[in-house]
């Protein structure tokens, strides 16, 4: 494995949910510990399953892994970190501010942006505070800060002074209020991230066009701020031993084509390929075999019976039937990047339009390619994209022309800096998003949302807007805000999209909890790319199918409605293939 050569002290694995980042990080940590190194494995993922993979209970404390001498691990809880971070910001103000003003400060540090910054706060301590990692030869991170967070920390101004003087409130000022006292620590962390001799950043992706595109976005975004990826792991490619049934042949062919068309930036990186294993990678022994060149043979599973999934849960037909009965409404497809949100959103939009409904399909995801997925036109279907760059440009101009016009030169300069924050992009997108919501009163609006963290930030902004309107309206006056529409189950249906794997399901479960705290109850779950639903023949694929069953069962417990899309022999691109996903189950099952 190239990425294991001459490892520096810090190693970071980054990638979207479901690509196997945790397994690769754990396997690396085990291999280093087996070689006699003292290793600390750290996860800052809110859906961390490091403990599950290693077969021990870990939590928010450094825990020795008995099965692997020399290895210790810790799972940082982002919510606990956010609570502590908020207290550092709000605590000194108690007793010094009126309750109304204190409540406003609390609200300003209650969003997902604060959680992201607080997680980086913890991450920075392990990366830049030598005392926290003394005694360890290597520190392995099962996640990495996003470019969004690092850009926030690179903004040069004095956020605390800007807040104290009341010169603006456009984006991340609340969450950033506590940064000054930590600025030197963050500066050391950013320097460590930018130094390949100190830190190795490894991108993890699947052999899929969408996953590779997401990895390239991450690589380019980090490169813009001076952080260079030094390795690429393609995880979970289907090996030859999966057999030659039509499904396996088609998947291998699709994966090879995706790798051949890999973005140029990724293609320049040293690359390691890790084949898909028949069994789930759980426990130290399984982890020791993950980085082997050839996966272990699958035990015979041909005679193992796979349970039949309910016919009305196969495909999207039942969901589309229920949606169509309403005649109009807002449908939001949510989930982590790479789980198939764009495919599900496009399939639902095509099916509704073909049934004669007026449909607007739009995306807030900068990585989505709706036109490529549709590859054609459908009467009654309008397709659009909320362009973050254009929305941000217009929003900045509006803020400078209104709020900026009332400030002195110093205040305007500080406001300009605030508007350079990446959180401004989210606010700008919300302004466009809120206008589109109103269309759902007379037509179907299908929204392919950005990955979960960005979506929740958008919803935080929606909630803040709701509170602002409510505070300023006269008592008894009727009003409807975007958040009220999102909370109305008669108007808005949220569909959570996931994969039948541990990390994507855990992340989707966290998303559902976050939505419910905002008063939004998901209407349905869609499990995409299920091998079990495709009814495979080979021993290898049947073993993989068996591993999916607990995750399918868990989704059934969490979801009020569940739909399962089998892994497709052909990429679901183009109007006809998308339409097939919402037809009768026999038209959906492949393989």
Which residues participate in catalysis according to the annotation?
Answer: 18, 20-23, 45, 503
Distance from C-alpha of 275 to C-alpha of 300, rounded to nearest angstrom: 19
Distance from C-alpha of 135 to C-alpha of 133, rounded to nearest angstrom: 6
Q: Are strands 63-64 and 71-75 parallel, antiparallel or unpaired?
A: antiparallel
* Residue 166: partners with Cβ closer than 8 Å, 6 or more residues away: none
Query: What tokens does 351 get?
Result: 């099916």
Distance from C-alpha of 505 to C-alpha of 501, rounded to nearest angstrom: 6
Taking the chain, what is the end-to-end CA distance rounded to the nearest angstrom?
A: 33
Q: Rounded to the nearest 5 degrees, what angle is found at the Cα of 42, between the Cα atoms of 37 and 45?
A: 150
Query: What tokens does 292 get?
Result: 């082997």
Nearest to 109, CA basis, from 52, 177, 58 = 177
Distance from C-alpha of 18 to C-alpha of 27, rounded to nearest angstrom: 16
Nearest to 378, CA basis, from 467, 444, 464 = 444
Distances (CA, A) of 434 to 312, 358, 406, 439, 465: 34, 19, 26, 10, 10
Length of the chain as a residue count: 591
383-391: Cβ within 8 A, 24+ apart: 384/360, 386/362, 386/429, 386/432, 386/433, 386/436, 388/364, 388/425, 388/428, 388/429, 391/425, 391/428, 391/429, 391/431, 391/432
Q: Are 40 and 74 in contact, with CB atoms under 8 Å apart?
A: yes
248-278 in b/e form (b: 16+ CB < 10 A) is bebbbebbeebbeebeeebeebebbebbbbb
Q: What is the DSSP string of 510-563?
A: HHHHHHHHTT----EEEEEEETGGG---SHHHHHHHHHHHHHHHHHHHH-SSEE
Distances (CA, A) of 364 to 211, 389, 448: 18, 11, 6
Distance from C-alpha of 131 to C-alpha of 125, rounded to nearest angstrom: 9
Q: Are strands 138-141 and 10-14 parallel, antiparallel or unpaired?
A: parallel
Distances (CA, A) of 419 to 338, 402, 410, 455: 29, 13, 14, 19
**23 phi and psi angles, rounded to 5 deg:** -60, -45
3-state SS class at 257:
helix
């Amino acid at each position: 494995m190239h990425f294991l050569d001459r490892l520096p002290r810090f190693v970071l694995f980054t990638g979207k949910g479901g690509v196997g980042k945790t397994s690769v990080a754990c396997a690396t940590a085990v291999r280093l510990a087996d070689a006699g190194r003292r290793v600390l494995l750290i996860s800052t993922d809110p859906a961390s399953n490091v403990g599950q993979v290693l077969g021990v209970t870990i939590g928010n404390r450094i825990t020795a892994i008995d099965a692997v001498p020399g290895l210790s691990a810790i799972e940082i809880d982002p919510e606990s970190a956010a609570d502590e971070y908020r207290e550092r910001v709000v605590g000194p103000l108690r007793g010094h501010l009126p309750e109304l003003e204190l409540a406003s400060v609390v609200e300003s540090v209650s969003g997902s942006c604060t959680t992201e910054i607080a997680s980086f706060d913890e991450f920075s301590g392990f990366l830049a505070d030598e005392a926290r990692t003394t005694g360890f030869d290597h520190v392995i991170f099962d996640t990495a800060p996003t470019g969004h967070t690092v850009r926030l920390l690179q903004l040069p101004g004095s956020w605390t002074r800007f807040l104290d003087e009341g010169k603006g409130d456009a984006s991340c000022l609340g969450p950033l209020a506590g940064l000054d006292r930590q600025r030197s620590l963050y500066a050391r962390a950013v320097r460590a991230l930018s130094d390949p001799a100190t830190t190795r950043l490894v991108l993890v992706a699947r052999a899929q066009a969408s996953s590779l595109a997401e990895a390239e976005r991450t690589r380019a975004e980090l490169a813009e701020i001076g952080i260079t990826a030094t390795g690429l792991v393609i995880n979970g490619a289907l090996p030859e031993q999966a057999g030659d049934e039509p499904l396996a042949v088609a998947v291998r062919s699709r994966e090879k084509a995706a790798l051949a068309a890999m973005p140029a930036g990724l293609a320049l990186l040293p690359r390691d390929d890790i084949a898909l294993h028949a069994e789930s990678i759980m426990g130290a022994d399984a982890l020791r075999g993950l980085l082997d060149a050839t996966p272990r043979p699958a035990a015979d599973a041909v005679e193992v019976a796979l349970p039949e999934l309910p016919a009305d849960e196969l495909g999207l037909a039942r969901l589309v039937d229920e949606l169509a009965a309403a005649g109009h409404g807002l449908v939001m497809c949510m989930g982590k990047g790479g789980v198939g949100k764009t495919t599900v959103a496009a399939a639902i939009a095509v099916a509704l339009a073909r049934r004669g409904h007026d449909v607007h399909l739009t995306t807030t995801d900068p990585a989505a390619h709706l036109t490529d997925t549709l590859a054609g036109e459908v009467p009654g279907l309008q397709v659009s994209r909320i362009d973050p760059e254009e929305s941000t440009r217009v929003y900045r101009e509006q803020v400078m022309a209104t709020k900026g016009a009332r400030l002195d030169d110093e205040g305007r300069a500080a406001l300009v800096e605030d508007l350079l924050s990446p959180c401004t992009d989210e606010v700008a997108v919300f302004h466009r998003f809120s206008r589109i919501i109103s269309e759902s009163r007379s037509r179907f609006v299908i929204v392919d949302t950005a990955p979960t963290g960005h979506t929740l930030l958008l919803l935080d902004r929606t909630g803040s807007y709701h509170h602002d309107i409510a505070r300023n309206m006269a008592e008894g006056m009727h009003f409807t805000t975007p958040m009220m529409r999102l909370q109305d189950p008669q108007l808005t249906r949220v569909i959570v999209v996931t994969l039948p794997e541990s990390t994507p399901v855990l992340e989707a479960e966290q998303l559902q909890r976050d939505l419910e705290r905002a008063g939004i109850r998901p209407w349905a779950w869609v499990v995409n790319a299920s091998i079990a639903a495709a009814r495979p023949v080979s021993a290898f694929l049947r073993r993989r199918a068996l591993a999916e069953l607990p995750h399918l069962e868990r989704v059934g417990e969490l979801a009020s409605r569940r739909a399962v899309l089998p892994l497709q022999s052909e990429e679901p691109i183009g109007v006809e293939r998308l339409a097939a996903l919402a037809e009768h189950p026999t038209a959906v099952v492949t393989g």
